[in-house]
């Protein structure tokens, strides 16, 4: 931690425009936080989460399960759509983002190390941006990797020739990139929310579970309330829609030209709230 603070502090001695100084400080914070996110002791849980969908797919790559749908190449995209929505998006990305982004500041408080950053000559909102970008890069690398490897493990082992044509000449590459884009958007949205939760709430597990329940019960909500959730906008973008069951309340998907900007605007608002919070934040290690 001290080396990162020294790197940030030393750069403040160089005369330069404020924005250039802020960019250098963000870069220094980003490099240190990315290394900590990937190599720190808290990274073990993230790796296990990212690998969670891949373990059963590795088994299925060796032994094809019974059932005609697993032998039908055209059904694989529907199988992946269910896997992606239920396991990757709603579980791996959600809880992975919660762990990464809530620990950006809450983890520093638990480790009693946040004061090193606060005592350095760096604006707190600059610190916030550097940490958020580091968390975003970490989550995108891991969870987009999970998304891409999972779809390839479903297609290639048992349908290699058809899959090569599908991804090289058909719709496969477009679908793969769409799923990867949805994962990135999920990391952006969930990441900003959990960053704020980690700043405002001493025990962030409860709000995380409440949001998880809200996202899972989204299919039962009336159309207006559906739009007060991240999962509604993400599901509006999936290339292969899945059935939400007989009890689902039907709502029109939000078009991509509305869903994507809406998610980004809300993320920016949430980060502004987080910046306000961190500028007025006082550290009380004894109460945590």
Give the residue among 51, 123, 83 at the shortest CA–CA distance from 242.
83
How far apart are alpha carbons 269 and 117 in whole angstroms?
24
Q: Provide the residue ranges of all domains of the chain, joining segments of one domain with +.
A: 44-127+140-287
- Is it the case that residue 185 has pLDDT exceeding 70? yes
Helix, coil or strand: residue 38? helix
**pLDDT at res. 182:** 96
- Is it the case that residue 95 has pLDDT exceeding 70? yes
| Percent over 90 (pLDDT), the chain | 39
Summarised one tens digit per residue, pLDDT across range 123-166 is 888 999 999 999 999 999 999 999 999 999 999 888 888 989 98
Least confident of 42-46, 116-120, 173-177, 185-189: 116-120
The whole model's pTM is what? Answer: 0.88
- Helix intervals (H) in the chain: 2-11, 18-39, 43-51, 54-62, 76-83, 94-102, 106-110, 114-119, 124-155, 160-168, 172-200, 205-216, 223-226, 230-235, 256-279
- Is it the case that residue 240 has pLDDT exceeding 60? yes
HSE-CB for 223 with a 13 A CA cutoff: 6
- Is it the case that residue 71 has pLDDT exceeding 80? no
Question: Residues 116, 8: contact at Cβ < 8 Å?
Answer: no
**Confidence label for 63 from pLDDT (cuts 50, 70 and 90):** confident
Helix (H) or strand (E) holding 261: helix 256-279
User: What mean pLDDT, rounded, does the chain reach?
Assistant: 85
Mean pLDDT along residues 5-25: 66
Helix, coil or strand: residue 138? helix
**pLDDT at res. 5:** 53
**pLDDT at res. 12:** 47
CA geometry: angle 116, 284, 30, nearest 5 deg: 35
């Amino acid at each position: 931690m001290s080396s990162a603070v020294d790197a940030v502090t030393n750069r403040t001695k160089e005369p330069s425009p404020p924005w250039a100084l802020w960019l250098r400080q963000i870069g220094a914070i980003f490099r240190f936080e990315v290394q900590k996110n990937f190599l720190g002791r808290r990274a073990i849980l993230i790796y296990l989460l990212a690998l969670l969908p891949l373990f059963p797919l590795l088994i299925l790559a060796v032994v094809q399960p019974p059932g005609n749908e697993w032998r039908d190449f055209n059904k694989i995209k529907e199988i992946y759509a269910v896997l992606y929505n239920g396991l990757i998006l709603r579980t791996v990305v959600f809880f992975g983002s919660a762990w990464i982004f809530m620990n950006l500041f809450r983890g520093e408080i638990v480790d009693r190390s946040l004061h090193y950053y606060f005592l350095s000559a760096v604006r707190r909102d600059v610190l916030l941006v550097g940490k958020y970008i580091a968390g975003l890069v970490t989550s995108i690398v891991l969870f987009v990797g999970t998304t891409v490897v999972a779809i390839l493990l479903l297609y290639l082992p048992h349908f290699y020739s058809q899959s090569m044509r599908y991804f090289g000449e058909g719709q496969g590459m477009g679908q793969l990139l769409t799923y990867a884009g949805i994962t990135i958007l999920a990391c952006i949205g969930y990441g900003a929310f959990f960053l704020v939760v980690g700043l405002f709430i001493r025990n962030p597990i409860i709000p995380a579970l409440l949001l998880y329940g809200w996202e899972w019960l989204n299919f039962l909500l009336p159309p207006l309330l559906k739009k007060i959730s991240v999962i509604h906008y993400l599901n509006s973008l999936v290339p292969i829609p899945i059935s939400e069951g007989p009890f689902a309340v039907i709502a029109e998907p939000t078009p991509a030209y509305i869903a994507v900007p809406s998610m980004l605007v809300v993320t920016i608002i949430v980060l502004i709230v987080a910046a306000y919070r961190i500028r007025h934040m006082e550290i009380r290690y004894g109460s945590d």
